[in-house]
Amino acid sequence: MITVAVANQKGGVGKTTTAINIATALAATGWKVLLIDLDPQGNASTGIGISAGERERSSYDLLIEQASVASCMIPTRIPGLDLIPATVDLSGAEVELVSVADRTSKLRAALAEDAGHEICLIDCPPSLGLLTLNAMTAANSLLVPLQCEFFALEGLSQLLQTVERVQERFNPDLGILGIVLTMYDRRNRLTDQVADDVRSCLHGLVFESVIPRNVRLSEAPSHGLPALIYDHACAGSQAYMKLARELIGRLPERRKAA
Ligand code: ADP
Ligand code: MG
């Protein structure tokens, strides 16, 4: 299984929106997709239409109880897309993991048993704590949503340092799938300047596709729907479709699920 961690330690940069919509686009293209909500806030779970009452088992059970993927996942209303939701328990997992010997490889161990999906996307919390380290240790690649604002590059270099540490200590196979510029506003000169800086520092790592600031993307979660389904034609959805095509081109060879 290909495992992609969607990470950036900054909050509000578009991780969850990207995870939900890329997961949906991949499922729509026929992939068997598993989306794991690894943020105690549970935004990916809510955004995909799984209410708190429906979350019987969660990513907490996967990490702490070593429950199986099959027993924690819930099918979503999008064919081909299963979700492992997050509950508030997960905020305690970070503390509970501290005293565990293999604390960074819990998620990797749980995912190793799964044969039902071709790709797994992990929506990370806004920190570089043990939850994100678990995602990076489990993943083959990292997808980084980046908002074009003043401190974006500082945050990015801290993130890339963490990636190096994870590569050295826990997961030499971790690669960077790409950086996607989010909430892009063409009328803002600072946006353009940051985008130019990021592209000149990181060359090919930055996806050509850019996600514009688009109100439909921010409305969709309150309807419990991915924007791609809530309003397929809006500029935000079109941008995510384009990103998905570009991203598929960068993925390792697809392996059919059982
Ligand atoms: P993160 O998971 O990094 O915290 P989110 O994906 O939850 O970020 O996005 C933060 C907020 O911004 C959410 O309310 C979301 O609906 C909104 N949002 C995300 N991407 C866009 C966009 N391209 N245009 C407008 N609003 C967006
Ligand atoms: Mg989020």
Tens of pLDDT along 148-157? 888 888 899 9
DSSP 204: G
CA distance 143 to 176: 7
pLDDT of residue 188: 87
- Residue 98: Cβ within 10 Å count: 10
Whether 173 and 140 have beta carbons less than 8 Å apart is answered as yes
H-only helix segments in 73-226: 90-97, 106-112, 130-138, 152-169, 189-202, 215-219
6 CA distance to ligand 1 centroid (A)? 13
Residue nearest to atom 14 of ligand 1 (CA): 218
Structural domain spans, the chain:
2-250
CA distance 209 to 174: 23
Name every protein residue with a CB atom under 6 angstroms from any ligand 1 atom. 11-17, 43, 126, 182-183, 211, 213-214, 217-218, 221, 236
pLDDT of residue 79: 97
Q: Which CATH superfamily is domain 2-250 in?
A: P-loop containing nucleotide triphosphate hydrolases (3.40.50.300)
CA distance 173 to 141: 8
pLDDT of residue 187: 87
pLDDT of residue 177: 96
Contacts of 250 (CB under 8 A, 6+ apart): 177, 178
17 CA distance to ligand 1 centroid (A)? 6
258 CA distance to ligand 2 centroid (A)? 30
Whether 89 and 97 have beta carbons less than 8 Å apart is answered as no
pLDDT of residue 257: 65
Pocket test for ligand 1, best of 9, 39, 218, 240 (most atoms within 8 A of CB): 218
pLDDT of residue 256: 65
pTM higher than 0.90: yes
pLDDT of residue 38: 98
Max Cα–Cα distance, the chain, nearest Å:
50
Nearest 5°: CA angle at 256, between 255 and 258?
125
Tens of pLDDT along 35-78? 999 999 999 999 999 999 999 999 999 999 999 999 999 999 99
Give all strands (DSSP E) within the chain, no chain letters: 2-6, 33-37, 74-75, 81-84, 119-123, 141-147, 175-182
pLDDT of residue 178: 97
With DSSP H G I counted as helix, E B as strand and the rest as coil, what are the percentages for the chain, rounded to 5? 45, 15, 40
Residues of the chain with pLDDT under 50: none
- Report the atom number in ligand 1 closest to the C-alpha of 39: 2
- Residue 220: Cβ within 10 Å count: 25
210 CA distance to ligand 1 centroid (A)? 14
